[in-house]
Structure 1
Amino acid sequence: AYPYSSLQVLSFALTVVSTALAIIACSLRMYSRSLTRSFGIDDWMICTATLFTINQCWSSSLVIHYEYIGVHAADIPVHDEAKALLYSWLAVVFYTPILSLVKTSILGFLLRLGGKQRRGVRIAIYTLITLNTLQIIAVLAVTIFQCTPVNLVWSTPSSAREGLRCINPGVLVLSVASWNILTDILVVALPYRIFFDIKTNKRMRNALIGVFMLGIVVTVFSIVRLYYMYRIFFTVSPDPTYSLGYILSAIESNLAIIASSIPALWPLARLWFPCMDSKLGINHHY
């Protein structure tokens, strides 16, 4: 019988539920935009990121199954790792563009909110958009073609690739994760400068900043993921599969989609909770 464990079931559940919440957040965002007829490229980027995270969900779930994630190493039977390696590679490929798409979407949204008004902020936004775009292209290419020939990725475990034409996967993962955290911090810092220039009351300004600061949660989670990725690739564990470390990538990308969609739900929130206007001191229509 397949050696299921409660931790593996939890891994499946967290992966699927977080993805479902990301889909709901994206759907609500699009509905909110339909109310104001203000669809923008930032919305389509979130939709694209959501499509990637859906694919990451099923591929990660198959990795959990075939790699026996959440199962004690002593309970894992002899098995062919080829399927686990293939789906693991696919999961990483699907994961790679998500955070950059989300950050580019946030930057586009900030431009719509007033990021074009100050030259310094505008340059910072366009610079970060360019860097994120280049990252998607470069990292996706490196991830897909990390071995030559490519099939070595799913036919040879990373521990057995010494001497082969392959990039060290641990170095690749940690490098990309570190860069993502750096750009996360830069993107999270931008709303402060923009919203202080918006002519509105203090409560409204603080509410806007507070909503955008949800990105800090994603950044903290990214740091936690970086730590676990380091442990996975560069430390020796007697029970490496009995951990939730693997699913952090899926949760991270889904949290990013959710957090980035919340600011766009403002029209929907005002429709559902009319009392918000008076509480925030809004006396006119936006």
Structure 2
Amino acid sequence: METTALKAKAAQIRMDLLKMIHGAKTGHTGGSLSNTDILTALYYRIMKLDPANPKWDGRDRFIASKGHSVESLWCILGDLGFFPKEELKTFSQFGTRLIGHPNNKVPGIEMNTGALGHGLAIGVGMALAAKRDGKDYRVFCLMGDGEQAEGSVWEAAMAGPHYKLDNLVAIIDRNRLQISGSTEEVMGLEPLEEKWAAFGWHVVSIDGNDMEQLVRAFEAAPSIPGKPTLVMANTVKGKGVSFAENVAHWHHHVPNDEQLALALAELSAAIESYEQEGLVR
């Protein structure tokens, strides 16, 4: 999918997740909006996948370590046909598979996540298995920036370069806000890029809401043989909804009817703009 189409797709996924959260009256809105561009680039352009055969051995693996922001992932998996899209209406309802964190009973989910700090270690194991088995799949692991306060993240960060896992791509959704406020006030992270580089990772810093930059960064990995890649995706929490952007309150806020209508109107206008951009090109 071309980048203009990817932008339009990301806006549609944002619309879908907002409707889903509004209907369920629960969800992690801000972080799902910030990571939508990342997931759209991965699932519609970068990763090797087969929705009809989700356990295909040659597939690339994706781990949503920041599992609480699952809404964008559910919408993408439903859109791609990993499960019936109609099932999105059951999100967080009694008896549903589509709970508030990734659930490996759902096709396309590699592992249950939600307890922060676990995903990268599992990603290291998957990438190491690929190396030892002579397989060429890549492993992508999305973490939150607040998650960087977990000690287990840094144990895995040591292991990746030690085993020369250049088939491993870690991504930090660096939106600088967590449930209780600024990441730098809760637990200062900077200089975050330098820390990952010191652990032996090839660090690429990009605008994580810029589709062209996302595609370039993911397509280039691994750019240094023998080194895992860390993509520092600088994003905006609540991206795509003007009144939610950079507002910590939207971490776990559910839009009311009026807010949903305003947000959908903004995103519809964005889609129309991208479609016009595509026609011009």
Please tell me the TM-score bracket, short chain as reference.
Answer: under 0.3
Q: Higher helix proportion, which one?
A: 1
Higher relative contact order (CA 8 A, sep 6+): 1
TM-score by length of 1: 0.27
TM-score by length of 2: 0.27
